[in-house]
Amino acid sequence: MLPHPTRKALPAPAPWRLAAVALASVLLASCGGGGGGGDGGGGAIQINTLSNRADLVSDGDALVEITAPPGQIDKGLLVNLNGANVASSFTRQGNGRLVGLLTGLKTGENTLEVQFSSRGIGQSERLVITNAPRSGPIYSGAQVKPFYCATPTPQPASGSTPATNGSGLSGQPDANCNIPTETKLYYRTTTASSGTGACSLAIPDPAWNSDGVNGTIPAQPAAPANPCWKPYTAGTTPADMATITTENGRTLPFVVRLERGTMNRGIYDIAVLFDPAKEWKSTAPQAQWNGKVYYSFGASTGQPRRQARPTATAWSAQEEQLKRGWLVVGNSMTDSVKNSNRVLMTETVMMMKEHIIDTYGPIRFTMGTGCSGGSINSNMNLSIFPGLLDGVVTSCTYPDSETTTLEVGDCTLLVEAYQKTRVLNLWSSMGLTQSQINARKGAINGHPDQSGCQAWYNAFGSNGRPGVYSQRTVGALGNGAQRLSDWDTGTIRTVPFETNNCELPNTAVYNPANPTATANLPRCNAWAWGESIWGHIGTTATPQDTRDNVGVQYGLKALLAGSITVEEFVTLNEEIGGTNKDSELRAARTQADTAALETAYRSGIVASGKNLAKAPIIDLRGWDDSNINVPPGQNPVAVNSSGTGLSGNTIPIHHQWYSWAIRDRITRDAGDANNQALWRFARTGLAAPGTVGLEAFNVMDQWLTALVTEPSNRSIEAKVRATRPNEARDFCLKPDDTTQSNRIYDMAVCDADPWLKPAASPRQVAGGPRSEDVLKCQLKPLNRSEYTGVAFTDAQWQRMQVVFQGGVCDWSKPGVGQQAAQSPLTFRNGPGGQPLGDAPTSTRF
């Protein structure tokens, strides 16, 4: 979390936190950790690192504060870094404080020593600063290899060497994918971004990424024909240059400085209002910056082994933040589609915030935002590394990646099971229409209809595959009529070419069809990308993972409600099976690795309600539960005008219940969820109607402004709740409200609307909690008396005993390995991680 003088250190399990402050007042903090100062043996001298903890510094520089009694500091200090005099790096800030940016730190330990120049006055103080290279890692463990650097222009694939992406930078990468940083100036034109003759807010130098699957190089994307942002030459005054007034009352030309570079092997963009005629130093920032940081996280999820530019919301589209004086930032390693290792993602956020503090100055607070995979990264920052983000505004929200994988995995198995011969024959023998069959699928899935699981199957059903595979899809091949028919029947078709999830040539990755010869080639799922976190199974190259469905009774609540018959229930659970470590279907259920389960919970990778409770959250929850049954104002799925595809939302995967899963976790772990605001709507799908999205930004700004100046000694959880603005209360917009302007604050009214009431997941229908954070259930013996109102025949019960020989899920107990988060963890010493511990402090010598 970032700086402010009144913010207190968090209690366990968060071992450290920085508190945001202005350099002119008190200790600056950053990225969730306390500075490196101690009591200095009586307080004569203290040394603190301001931009990060002293043991988590990177990129060879660190902003440092030295304090001593004012009357004594005027007599002079000797300041040595690794034996060299660096006193000239420090400037007086008043009140006995010196602040300076130390540069040229070597990789590893650096010793900073401070003593009074007059002998006999006070003590000598020493602080060890541990520096990691700009390319990382710091606490995420060994970096995955191979990893291919971006180049100034994309290069085609050659044999087993993949195509490279265009970096957007002119320099060549070094062996660690570091590319020299570049800065450019842009000005905002006076042209409006909507209406007749509107300009484009698209990025003025578009990304140029190659196709890593088949090695082709697409055409260079064209810059917008009428850009809202144009290159600016310092000292000029273009006729169409806009002028703005910031939130701190400064009027100036709308000129931004764009910094692009690499950090932790990701490519980043930083944009902020800038006056080219003035100097900007971390100890003296330009006044138009309000000290606030807006961090955008990208959507989807993936694990390509190729460096790329980020796909998160472009800086050029964030003009509301920029014109008010915010600094906006994104990095491809915090872009979910480019990096699914969530510990590595949080490490990158920490490194970016340190770089901002070292380069631009103290951060007042940081707001995170994102949809879908971007919401995962927002929430997982709060859980894995409390304090990195001060608050988040999310949409299309998921709690985290591991528990979202539960629904992906269950849906994948169910879609396959529904097409198996025994299941199809059973439904045929019952004389069911397709509509009746689909109603049964919806009841088992927990969704309004069958389309939600089919969408998961298409979009991410193959994301867990570690090697070469051929995609199987529902309704994504053929002409429009065939595709619509497939969505109705759930018919699966196989795409007629092979691919992999690494974005590498197929010859360069593991192939389950030839496991021995390719055993040592890269695996391509999220657990392999995060092998430094999860570890491997024995001496094999197979990563440990958390996938499991042992004991899960699919369709249990549908059976108890009479939505399916006993025979359907038994047959489904006989047929569903599971997958092996190569994500190949098998008759046996899927088995998780116990060590991976424990790591997932201890690290906060399974989002911890206790950690989520420490920050303000505004959740913009739209409708994405079906592409067949849709609220008023939306169009159902249909053949498009060319007759070759589907219009409307064809991947309904952002189900509403996920917001309640988060609320349930926070309530369970913290007593209430009064730090989370739910703003619900359905008429406009996932997109917030009107100005609701902007209002969420404004309200979170108001909330965080109050939070960082809250003067009490209360816990952070109490402060978050005490400073919650009235505007942050829950509300909904009913879908039959054509103007989307009548806000309903009565939650009973909201819950009664069929389009605003959350549905469920397959695991919840199987009896699991809505918190959806039991990765692997503990088991209990089958008990015939527990199926109230259900009559099994003796033959059916014998079949159940065969399917569930080890027992069925006991949802009254915690999951296997489930425990409180001890985050943040460090993985420097290997998979599994260890608590990071307290920040280093300066000591007398």
The pLDDT of residue 236:
97
Over residues 777-786, mean pLDDT: 97
Neighbour-count burial for 371-387, b at 16+ CB within 10 Å, e otherwise: bbbbbbbbbbbbbbbbb
CA distance 443 to 759: 10
User: What single-letter amino acid sits at 185?
Assistant: L
Neighbours of 584 (CB within 10 A): 11
Question: What are 793's two structure tokens?
Answer: 């025949």
Instruction: Report yes or no on 772 lying in a domain.
Output: no
Q: Could you tell me what percent of the chain has a pLDDT over 90? A: 85
Are 491 and 473 in contact, with CB atoms under 8 Å apart? no
The pLDDT of residue 210:
81
Residue 641: pLDDT band with limits 50, 70, 90:
low
Statement: residue 263 has pLDDT above 60:
yes
| Total-model pTM | 0.94
Residue that finishes a domain, picked among 745, 775, 798: 745
677 and 625: one domain? yes
CA distance 450 to 444: 9
Over residues 803-807, mean pLDDT: 98
Residue 36: pLDDT band with limits 50, 70, 90:
very low
Are 329 and 294 in contact, with CB atoms under 8 Å apart? yes
593 and 617: one domain? no
User: What single-letter amino acid sits at 651?
Assistant: I
Evaluated on CA atoms 328, 222, 298, 685, the torsion sign reads positive
pLDDT digits (tens, 9 = 90+) for 431-486: 999 999 999 999 999 999 999 999 999 999 999 999 999 999 998 887 888 888 99
Instruction: Report yes or no on 350 lying in a domain.
Output: no
Specify burial of residue 85 (Cβ count, 10 A radius: 0-12, 13-18, 19+). Answer: exposed
The pLDDT of residue 120:
55
**Secondary structure (H, E, C), 706-727:** HHHCCCCCCCHHHHHHHCCCHH
Question: What are 487's two structure tokens?
Answer: 């969505």
- Residue 427 has phi, psi (to 5 degrees) of -65, -35
Structural domain containing residue 736: 609-745
Which of residues 92 and 575 earns the better pLDDT score?
Answer: 575
* Cα diameter, the chain: 98
Over residues 759-767, mean pLDDT: 98
DSSP 567-622: HHHHHHHHH--EE-TT--EESSPP---HHHHHHHHHTT-S--HHHHTTS-EEEEE-
Name which of 321, 363, 327, 386 is nearest 696 in CA terms. Answer: 321
Instruction: Report yes or no on 691 lying in a domain.
Output: yes
Neighbour-count burial for 496-526, b at 16+ CB within 10 Å, e otherwise: eeebbbbbbbbebbbbbeeeeebeebbbbbb
Residue that finishes a domain, picked among 602, 630, 661: 602
Statement: residue 22 has pLDDT above 60:
no
Over residues 218-243, mean pLDDT: 93
Instruction: Report yes or no on 175 lying in a domain.
Output: no
The pLDDT of residue 766:
98
What is the DSSP pairing of strand 743-744 with strand 731-733?
A: antiparallel
Instruction: Report yes or no on 177 lying in a domain.
Output: no
pLDDT digits (tens, 9 = 90+) for 146-195: 999 999 999 999 999 999 999 999 999 999 999 999 999 999 999 999 99
CA distance 267 to 306: 11
CA distance 150 to 251: 39
The pLDDT of residue 42:
45
Are 677 and 617 in contact, with CB atoms under 8 Å apart? yes
Neighbours of 475 (CB within 10 A): 27
Name which of 572, 589, 555 is nearest 409 in CA terms. Answer: 589
Neighbours of 421 (CB within 10 A): 8
Over residues 770-780, mean pLDDT: 98
597 and 642: one domain? no
Which of residues 488 and 40 earns the better pLDDT score?
Answer: 488
570 and 457: one domain? yes
The pLDDT of residue 39:
38
Residue that finishes a domain, picked among 745, 767, 792: 745
423 and 542: one domain? yes
Residue 8: pLDDT band with limits 50, 70, 90:
very low
3-state secondary structure of 18: coil
CA distance 579 to 417: 12
The pLDDT of residue 2:
31
The pLDDT of residue 481:
83
Instruction: Report yes or no on 193 lying in a domain.
Output: no
Over residues 682-704, mean pLDDT: 97
CA distance 361 to 781: 60
The pLDDT of residue 164:
95
pLDDT digits (tens, 9 = 90+) for 119-137: 655 679 999 999 999 999 9
- Residue 370 has phi, psi (to 5 degrees) of 170, 160
The pLDDT of residue 33:
38
User: What single-letter amino acid sits at 479?
Assistant: N
Statement: residue 72 has pLDDT above 90:
no
Eight-class DSSP state of 815: P
Statement: residue 29 has pLDDT above 70:
no
Neighbours of 549 (CB within 10 A): 24
The pLDDT of residue 643:
53
The pLDDT of residue 483:
85
Over residues 786-811, mean pLDDT: 98
825 and 717: one domain? no
The pLDDT of residue 15:
29
pLDDT digits (tens, 9 = 90+) for 626-639: 989 999 999 877 66
Q: In which residue are the tokens 């995609």 written?
A: 471
Say which range, 15-29, 131-145, 509-523, 612-626, has the weakest mean pLDDT.
15-29
The answer to whether the bond into 824 is cis (omega within 30° of 0) is yes
616 and 526: one domain? no
Say which range, 13-22, 249-258, 748-757, has the weakest mean pLDDT.
13-22
Are 53 and 14 in contact, with CB atoms under 8 Å apart? no
DSSP 129-192: EEEE-TT--SSS-SPPS--B--BSS----BTTBPP--B-SSSSPP-TT-----EEEEEEEBSS-
User: What single-letter amino acid sits at 492?
Assistant: I
598 and 629: one domain? no
The pLDDT of residue 811:
98
pLDDT digits (tens, 9 = 90+) for 406-425: 999 999 999 999 999 999 99
4 and 83: one domain? yes
The pLDDT of residue 247:
94
Eight-class DSSP state of 8: P
Question: What are 116's two structure tokens?
Answer: 């009074």
Are 210 and 166 in contact, with CB atoms under 8 Å apart? yes
706 and 617: one domain? yes
pLDDT digits (tens, 9 = 90+) for 713-745: 999 999 999 999 999 999 999 999 999 999 999
Question: What are 524's two structure tokens?
Answer: 């391509």
Instruction: Report yes or no on 523 lying in a domain.
Output: yes
What is the DSSP pairing of strand 266-273 with strand 255-263?
A: antiparallel
Question: What are 278's two structure tokens?
Answer: 């003035």
Instruction: Report yes or no on 615 lying in a domain.
Output: yes
- Residue 121 has phi, psi (to 5 degrees) of -105, 115
- For the chain, the domain total comes to 3
Residue 215: pLDDT band with limits 50, 70, 90:
confident
The pLDDT of residue 640:
58
Q: What CATH number should be reported for the domain holding residue 108?
A: 2.60.40.10
Name which of 93, 101, 33 is nearest 68 in CA terms. Answer: 93
Question: What are 619's two structure tokens?
Answer: 């959740």
Neighbours of 786 (CB within 10 A): 11
Query: What are the CA-CA distances from residue 688 to residues 161, 507, 620, 775, 838 (Å)?
Result: 43, 44, 7, 32, 41
User: What single-letter amino acid sits at 181?
Assistant: T
Q: In which residue are the tokens 């699919």 written?
A: 554
Over residues 91-114, mean pLDDT: 95
598 and 622: one domain? no
The pLDDT of residue 122:
61
546 and 620: one domain? no
Specify burial of residue 704 (Cβ count, 10 A radius: 0-12, 13-18, 19+). Answer: buried
pLDDT digits (tens, 9 = 90+) for 658-686: 999 999 999 999 999 999 999 999 999 99
pLDDT digits (tens, 9 = 90+) for 353-391: 999 999 999 999 999 999 999 999 999 999 999 999 999
Statement: residue 574 has pLDDT above 90:
yes
Statement: residue 20 has pLDDT above 60:
no
Residue 650: pLDDT band with limits 50, 70, 90:
low
Question: What are 350's two structure tokens?
Answer: 């920490």
